[in-house]
Amino acid sequence: MFYSLARFICQLYLLFFRRWKIKGAENIPRQGGLLVICNHISYLDPVAVGCALPRRIYFMAKSELFEIPILKQIITALGAFPLHRGSGDLNAVKTALRYLQAGKTVGIFPEGTRSKTEGLLDPHQGAAMLAIRTGVPVLPIAVSGTRGFFSRVRVNIGQPVIPPARDRTGKDTYYEFSRLLMQKIDALHKELREY
């Protein structure tokens, strides 16, 4: 209930104040576990992605956000769960695995932090690991215009990417798949400049 209401209010804001546009909505799988990945340039990114997808997204968010009293209650109610960055947070990994195996949608920003430019940062390998371990498809998304207060927000949703077989685990496989996923996001980001 709270998620649906918050999503509706944010959609109105994006529509009337940020003139948002979505491309590729037909690429969103309607059911089954799904891992959503996106470039990260602003705190508004999860809002734009969450409003673009009809499915509820459980975002993995940096633990520092859960230390802010009011914000903690809001993002927890919206389904976000904390990640202690730089520590190999097993609780966050277990939570993400549980959601994905239950057929839910988990959202991750593979860069691990916001980019100060429009360029992409090197990805962490967590998203690749989760996808390979669960076998769920990965939905790459690119956003632009989420910085500032008046720029037009655009969301470009790519086609789902099927991860390598689970028996192909290890650092090399995670690294290669992470790079592939970022290439998908980069291609989607470049398309945003054309419309």
pLDDT, tens digit, for every residue of 136-155?
Answer: 999 999 999 999 888 999 99
So what's the pLDDT on residue 195? 63
Which residues, including other chains, have CB under 8 Å from residue 46's CB and lie 6 or more apart? 57, 59, 61, 80, 107
pLDDT at 168: 62
Average pLDDT over residues 101-120: 91
pLDDT of 15-31, one tens digit each? 999 999 999 999 999 99
The pTM of the whole model exceeds 0.75: yes
Average pLDDT, the chain: 92
Domain segments of the chain as ranges: 2-192
Provide the CATH number for the domain formed by 2-192 in this structure. Answer: 3.40.1130.10
Sequence-distant (≥ 6) Cβ neighbours of residue 27 within 8 angstroms: 139, 157, 158, 159, 160
